[in-house]
Homo-oligomer: A and B are copies of this chain.
Amino acid sequence: MNQPVSALSRSELEERLSALSCQYEDVRAKGMQLNMARGKPAASQLDLSMDLLHLPVDCTLEDGTDARNYGILDGISECRKLFADLLGLKPEQIIIGGNASLNTMFDTLASLVLFGTQGHKPWGRLQYEGHAVKFLCPVPGYDRHFTMCEELGIEMIPVPLLEDGPDMKMVSELAAANEDIKGIWCVPVHSNPQGVCYSDETVRALASMETAAGDFRIFWDNAYAIHHIYEEKSVLNIIEECEKAGHPDRPYFFFSTSKITFPGAGVSLISSSDANIKELKGHMKAQTIGHDKLNQLRHVQFFKTPENIRLHMKKLAGELRPKFDMVLNRFDAELKGSGLLEWHNPKGGYFVSVDTLPGCARRTVKLAKEAGVTLTEAGATWPYGKDPNDRNIRIAPSFPTIDELEKAVDIFILCVKIAGIEKLLEK
């Protein structure tokens, strides 16, 4: 346990800062180039999927269709079945999308703006009529969700993400009171960035709450559904829960193989109620003849069964665990009890979310950058890039090698200490 900085006198703080600054100058002089910015798998993880590149060996589908030719709007049935079995979904409620779920999410959100859903007015029309269409955004959250909303003119209301999911008291009060609140972003398993997994109560509350908007939608980005590192977590099935609660059209469930096989060369999916799937296919027909069936088949022939996917995830977790251990152990050793940093211990996913002292996140990221360590921009985990307390930073330990990571984490810790003590000395 480290000494709390609050127990130090001003001169002790100054002395510490002076010593840390010397260390920092030494590090900066080395001109390193390290990156903990994005949740990218390491090359060693990608190596586990290389057999994909020799597939498919046979391009004829179960039903006799030649997968090399045009057709099949919603994806090949063997692929829908594989992911349905993996995720507890119904194959007929799945549409296989393109190379990444981000695009599927954007297209879905854009279709709500352009066309509306289930007879409700298009959100773009509401915007032109002067309504400020809004989404609830649990924070800290995923910057690319926020960018999508911003691009489509959807205002964002931050909602705290607690240990078991979004603050449901706040969510349900807001959703019930304002018909312009049209949806919520959720990363229900190993959330980006904190690694929060939604409790059953949270999922049931999301499914059953009353909403002023008849077309309130849950964007359920289950990016890390099976991405366990320390502990297997499962979360209630949002589609079933919404159906039980009488709101079958509320959820859109997204998933992809981006962090299972090759990011950006994978297979994505959307699942929802029968009515929503029918509606989405109606729009898709104008947009595409169908997504890449050979890549769908490639993934089916590579994995064959859901069990093999889970086994593959265990291997990937084996690659990630030492890196997460490294980050968390170094934090424990250097910062625990210091009062300079709070962090979550994720059970899976791709990130470690940390909170500096108030007002120190930007300074920490800037210091790290100048010392050769690129981090996700401070503020990125908040809508509009604005973290009101300037505290949250997202650490992505997956991409660097373990040696690089050790260097990067130690530089980061140094920067946390400097920024924190500088702040204390400002007072």
Contacts and interface: CB of A to CB of B under 8 A. Distances in A.
B69 A288 contact: no
A181 B214 CA distance: 36
A395 to B, nearest CB: 17
A342 B39 CA distance: 60
Interface residues on A, range: 35 or more
Contacts of A69: 40-41, 43, 46, 262-264
Contact of A264 (B57, B70, B114): B70
A360 interface: no
A148 B287 CA distance: 7
A125 interface: yes
A295 B41 CA distance: 19
B292 A70 contact: no
Given A40-B69, A262-B294, 13 more contacts: A38-B70, A68-B262, A68-B263, A69-B262, A69-B263, A100-B289, A106-B286, A106-B287, A110-B110, A114-B114, A147-B286, A151-B283, A264-B291
Interface string A289-308: 11111110000000000000
Top 7 A-B pairs, shortest CB-CB distance? A151-B286, A265-B294, A128-B128, A106-B287, A99-B292, A70-B263, A46-B68
A70 B264 CA distance: 6
A205 interface: no
Interface stretch (A25-33, A48-56, A333-341): A48-56
15 contacts: A46-B68, A46-B69, A54-B54, A67-B265, A98-B291, A99-B291, A99-B292, A100-B289, A103-B287, A110-B110, A124-B128, A125-B128, A144-B286, A147-B286, A262-B294
| Chain copies in the assembled complex | 2
Given A114-B113, A263-B70, A287 B152 contact: no
A76 to B, nearest CB: 11
B288 A100 contact: yes
A144 B113 CA distance: 22
A288 B103 contact: yes
Contacts of A152: 114, 286
Contact of A288 (B55, B102, B283): B102
Contacts of A57: 53
A66 B43 CA distance: 8
A285 interface: yes
Interface in A160-188: none
A116 interface: no
Contact of A102 (B103, B265, B289): B289
A71 interface: yes
Interface in A80-136: 98-100, 102-103, 106-107, 110, 113-114, 124-125, 128
Interface string A347-361: 000000000000000
A292 B268 CA distance: 12
A57 B53 CA distance: 8
A265 B46 contact: no
Given A40-B69, A43-B66, A46-B66, A265 B292 contact: yes
Interface string A398-426: 00000000000000000000000000000
A366 to B, nearest CB: 23
Contact of A292 (B71, B124, B288, B295): B295
Contacts of A53: 54-57, 59, 294
A286 to B, nearest CB: 4
